[in-house]
């Protein structure tokens, strides 16, 4: 915010200006600038010797002669007297307090010898009836952050449907501040289920997005970064070939992670959303080509790393893109939706039979935790947002009946109505119901009255692990404490 301007008032045609407003008054017009020693002309004593006028005489010899005689020697007026002379209550009598002349010879002012006063001249001086302009407002000093600025870390996730990037700096232990971010739907896995290969158009879209990510990374001094690719590159016959092309055209070297690593990263990114009183959680990440599910037991102990509490995990070879391509995502009927739910349930049966949370599922401190575009979309519709707002979505709680109601509402909408919703849009309109089918299958296996929504995922998990392994939070904590 710019400070208000302050300084001498300007005037023209006998008026004084204050903040752009002309104040017509009794200002004395001064042709040669303000009076001597910074005192305005209309506050000078009428009894001052005429020799004062000689200081502005254009004859240099006459000025030098008057200085040698000591005619112009006078003690400068103090700042307090100047303020008193120009204050609203000042009168001509105040000028009588001017100190007497001093016998000490004053050093000549080289600016005045050249005909310049050293003070910016004004056409007119404001009358004494008006106060001096207020001093400029001072901004409140910005408080120092609790933790000093730290190194930057980056995480890139090239999935079946999205390309996402985060650049962040660690703050308090377990948390970080996002410095830069990027997200774009590229649909890298488009047609993968039918052909088993990444299409040329899909690869071109992904590479264009990755070039933007490369430019963002080049603009930051990143200490450590991890760039991953997930299910689409895992399944595709030409997945490795595509990553070679990515390195050649963008300079970025991506690694294809396995399903276990993907499940662990999803859990690591959501650690701060599992509260202390929680006993157990079923965390799921509905992706474009796969869906990761992790059973988490925190009833016995609690470690800062949530991934250490995973007792079982699975990765289903189905996501919103693959499911929508197989059963249709544009025009979805109630019967078609039920077929999708049953298909996902069949994939879950073996895992749910072998791995159970036992009585923890019946506890009031058990809940589902979803990190995917499906659950964030449902939350946005539930809140009636006119545009998607991550700050209102991340961490929100939804009741089981709320989820059922939102799913039924989506099923009643046509494709165009889904496109028109600001939380869905054209990019997700043909995928959102496939995601709801996967969610319903999970809810049927692990029924819970509460679902917590997380607008975070693999990128946050990568950043959490990079910072933790690098000791970023430990070192910053000691520096903040003055250790």
Q: In sequence order, which residues have a C-beta less than 8 Å from that of residue 388 and are 6 or more positions away?
A: 376, 380, 422, 423
pLDDT score at 30: 35
- On whether the CB atoms of residues 151 and 223 are closer than 8 A, the answer is yes
DSSP assignment of 177-205: EEEEEEEEE--TTTTHHHHSS--HHHHHH
Residue 353 has pLDDT above 60, yes or no: yes
Q: Are strands 397-399 and 291-297 parallel, antiparallel or unpaired?
A: unpaired
Query: CB atoms < 10 A from the CB of 344, how many?
Result: 22
Rounded Cα distance, 312 and 293, in Å: 8
The arithmetic mean of pLDDT across residues 438-457, rounded, is 94
In this prediction, residues 420-434 reach a mean pLDDT of 94
Q: Which two tokens stand for residue 332?
A: 């979805």
Which 3 state secondary structure label does DSSP give 284?
Answer: strand
pTM: 0.67
Whether the predicted pLDDT of 360 surpasses 90? no
Q: What is the pLDDT of residues 99-150, one digit of tens each?
A: 444 455 555 555 444 444 444 444 444 444 444 455 444 444 444 445 456 7
* Mean pLDDT confidence for 389-399: 93
| Residue 461 scores a pLDDT above 90 | yes
* pLDDT digit string, tens, across residues 59-76: 777 777 777 766 445 545
Mean pLDDT of the chain: 78
In the numeric block, which tokens belong to residue 208?
């264009």
Both structure tokens of 84: 């008193």
**Rounded distance between C-alpha atoms, residue 53 and residue 57, angstroms:** 7
Which pLDDT belongs to residue 150?
Answer: 79
pLDDT tens by residue, 262-303: 999 999 989 889 998 999 999 999 999 999 999 999 988 888
Rounded Cα gap, residues 119 and 421, in angstroms? 64
* Residue 250 contacts residue 243 (beta carbons within 8 Å): no
Which two tokens mark 10?
Answer: 């300007």
**CATH T-level topology, domain 144-269+459-483:** Nucleotidyltransferase; domain 5 (3.30.420)
Residue 70 has a pLDDT of 62
Taking the C-alpha atoms of residue 461 and residue 177, their distance in angstroms, rounded to an integer, is 14
d(CA 375, CA 320): 12
- Of 476, 475, 459, nearest in space to 181 by CA: 459
pLDDT grade for 49, boundaries at 50, 70 and 90: very low
Cβ atoms 15, 124 nearer than 8 A: yes
Query: In this predicted model, what pLDDT tens digit does every residue of 183-234 receive, in sequence order?
Result: 999 999 999 988 999 999 999 999 999 999 999 999 999 999 999 999 999 9
Q: Which fold has domain 275-456?
A: Nucleotidyltransferase; domain 5 (3.30.420)
Q: Is the pLDDT of residue 435 over 90?
A: yes
Q: What is the dihedral of CA 420, 422, 423, 427, to 10 degrees?
A: 60
Q: Which residues of 158-194 are buried (b: 16+ CB within 10 A; e: fewer)?
A: bbbbbbbbbbbbbbeeeebeebbebebbbbbbbebbe
Strands 291-297 and 366-370: unpaired
- Contact yes or no for 431/320 (Cβ under 8 A): yes
pLDDT score for 64: 73
Residues 6+ apart with CB under 8 A from 57: 63, 66
The reply to whether 275-456 shares the fold of 144-269+459-483 is yes
Per-domain boundaries in the chain: 15-113, 144-269+459-483, 275-456
Nearest one of 233, 139, 147 to 192, comparing CA atoms: 233
Q: Which residues of 12-36 are buried (b: 16+ CB within 10 A; e: fewer)?
A: eeebbbeeeeebeeebeebeebbbb
């Amino acid at each position: 915010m710019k400070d208000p301007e302050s300084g001498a008032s300007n005037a023209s045609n006998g008026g004084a200006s204050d903040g752009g407003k002309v104040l017509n008054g009794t200002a004395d017009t001064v042709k040669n600038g303000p009076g001597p020693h910074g005192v305005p002309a209309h506050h000078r004593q009428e009894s001052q010797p005429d020799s004062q006028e000689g200081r502005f005489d254009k004859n240099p010899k006459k000025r030098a002669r008057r200085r040698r005689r000591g005619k112009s020697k006078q003690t400068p007026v103090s700042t307090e007297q100047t303020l008193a002379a120009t204050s609203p209550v000042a009168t001509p009598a105040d000028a009588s307090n001017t100190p007497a002349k001093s016998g000490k010879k004053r050093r000549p002012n080289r600016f005045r010898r050249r005909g310049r006063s050293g003070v910016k001249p004004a056409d007119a001086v404001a009358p004494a009836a008006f106060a001096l302009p207020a001093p400029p407002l001072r901004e409140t000093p910005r408080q120092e952050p609790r933790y000093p600025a730290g190194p930057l870390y980056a995480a890139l996730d090239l999935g079946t449907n999205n390309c996402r990037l985060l650049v962040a700096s660690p703050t308090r232990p377990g948390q970080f501040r996002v410095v830069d971010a990027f997200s774009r739907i590229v649909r890298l896995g488009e047609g993968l289920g039918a052909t088993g290969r990444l299409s040329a158009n899909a690869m071109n879209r992904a590479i264009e997005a990755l070039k933007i990510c490369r430019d963002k990374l080049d603009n930051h001094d990143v200490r450590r970064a991890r760039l991953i690719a997930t299910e689409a590159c895992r399944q595709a016959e030409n997945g490795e070939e595509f990553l070679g092309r990515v390195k050649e055209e963008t300079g970025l070297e991506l690694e294809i992670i396995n399903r276990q690593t993907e499940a662990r990263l999803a859990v690591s990114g959501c650690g701060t959303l599992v509260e202390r009183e929680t006993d157990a959680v079923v965390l799921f990440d509905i992706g474009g080509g796969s869906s990761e599910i992790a059973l988490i037991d925190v009833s016995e102990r609690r470690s800062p790393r949530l991934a250490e509490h995973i007792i079982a995990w699975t990765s289903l070879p189905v996501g919103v893109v693959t499911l929508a391509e197989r059963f249709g995502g544009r025009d979805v009927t109630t019967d078609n939706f039920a077929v999708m739910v049953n298909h996902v349930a069949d994939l879950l049966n073996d895992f749910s039979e072998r791995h159970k949370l036992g009585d923890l599922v019946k506890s009031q401190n058990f809940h589902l935790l979803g990190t995917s575009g499906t659950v964030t979309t449902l939350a946005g519709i539930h809140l009636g947002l006119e545009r998607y707002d991550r700050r209102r979505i991340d961490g929100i709680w939804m009741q089981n009946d709320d989820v059922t109601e939102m799913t039924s509402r989506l099923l009643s909408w046509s494709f165009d109505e889904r496109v028109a919703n600001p939380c869905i849009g054209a990019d997700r309109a043909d995928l959102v119901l496939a995601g709801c089918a996967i969610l319903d299958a999970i809810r049927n296996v692990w029924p819970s009255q509460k679902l917590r929504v997380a607008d975070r995922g693999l990128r946050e998990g990568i950043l959490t692990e990079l910072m933790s392994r690098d000791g970023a939070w430990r070192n910053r904590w000691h520096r903040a404490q003055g250790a």
